Amino acid sequence: MITNNTALLTVTDLHKSFAAREVLKGLDFTVHKGEVIAILGPSGCGKSTLLRCLNGLETIQSGSIKLDGVELNTPTTSWINVRQKIGMVFQSYDLFPNMNVIVNILLGPLKVQKRTKLEAMQEADELLTRVGLIDRKTAYPRELSGGQKQRIAIVRALCMNPEIMLFDEVTASLDPEMVREVLEVIQALAKQGMTMILVTHELNFARRVANRIIFMDQGKIVEMADPETFFTNPQTDRAKQFLTVFDF
């Protein structure tokens, strides 16, 4: 975990509603370069919506999202450009089923970033090697296990050279034996200093890898603390109750 005090992402008083229903009720937090933040909280509390707001997949009603000091909540923000800096991996494998692994990975670097094929291919090869899947380069998604698909989805996001990665329960639909291989990739990224926000129900993993825990409930940040404090000495009844449900 390599952190310094440079604010990379600053969220201020973020409000998000779906029709009349407010699901994010004024969130404030800062992510520093190299920091790993785990967002925990019960189902429906707004974790996915928050991540989707951060990369423009949802519009927000009010508040500020700054990346490198630049305001993103403006009518003229180019989210296509922003998404190159904010990579995201979802719970469901979102690889294109009709394209093989390397074509999936190179789509963004070649089509969006207009990089040269040789250079992008070299980077893809390096990343595939790192996640242990260089030999599956020409496989199609249907030929891969869930854990392999998630590792490819991570490589695809990394190949855009993002400044921050958002992970939304990326192990939630995996069989237990595949959870580990994906968490190991994320842990290696943390060691290399990648800035990350992880939404996860893997509490042991969050405790081990995160620099900070954000605990949400009903659209609000209820606790924000270092992992040891959060797990051994939660401050609110809501967090205590949440933690008792898990056997970790």
Q: Which residues bind ligand ADP (CB under 6 A)?
A: 18, 23, 41, 43-49
* 3-class secondary-structure state, position 128: helix
Residue nearest to Mg ion (CB): 48
**Residue 132 contact, options ligand ADP, Mg ion, none, Cβ 5-8 Å cut-off depending on partner type:** none
Q: How is residue 2 annotated by DSSP?
A: -
CA–CA gap between residue 206 and residue 187 (Å, rounded): 10
* 3-class secondary-structure state, position 204: helix
Contacts of 43 by beta carbon, 8 Å cutoff, 6+ apart: none
Residue 76: is it exposed, middle or buried by C-beta count within 10 angstroms (0-12/13-18/19+)?
A: exposed
- Closest separation between CB of residue 198 and Mg ion, Å? 12
**Residue 56 contact, options Mg ion, ligand ADP, none, Cβ 5-8 Å cut-off depending on partner type:** none
Comparison of 58 and 68: residue with beta carbon closer to ligand ADP: 58
**Residue 244 contact, options ligand ADP, Mg ion, none, Cβ 5-8 Å cut-off depending on partner type:** none
- Closest separation between CB of residue 24 and ligand ADP, Å? 8
Comparison of 60 and 102: residue with beta carbon closer to ligand ADP: 60
Comparison of 115 and 215: residue with beta carbon closer to ligand ADP: 215
* Residue 133, token pair as written in the block: 């899947």
Amino acid of residue 48: S
CA atoms 171, 174, 180, 181: torsion sign: negative
- Closest separation between CB of residue 113 and ligand ADP, Å? 29
- Closest separation between CB of residue 238 and ligand ADP, Å? 14
Comparison of 27 and 124: residue with beta carbon closer to ligand ADP: 27
Comparison of 46 and 109: residue with beta carbon closer to ligand ADP: 46
- Closest separation between CB of residue 224 and ligand ADP, Å? 16
- Closest separation between CB of residue 136 and ligand ADP, Å? 30
Residues forming beta bridges with residue 212, ordered by sequence position: 37
Q: In what order do the strands lie in the sheet containing 70-71?
A: 21-32, 7-18, 62-67, 70-71
CA–CA gap between residue 69 and residue 32 (Å, rounded): 12
Residues numbered 15 to 74 that lie near Mg ion (CB under 5 A) are 48
In the complex, which residues of this chain contact Mg ion (CB under 5 A)? 48
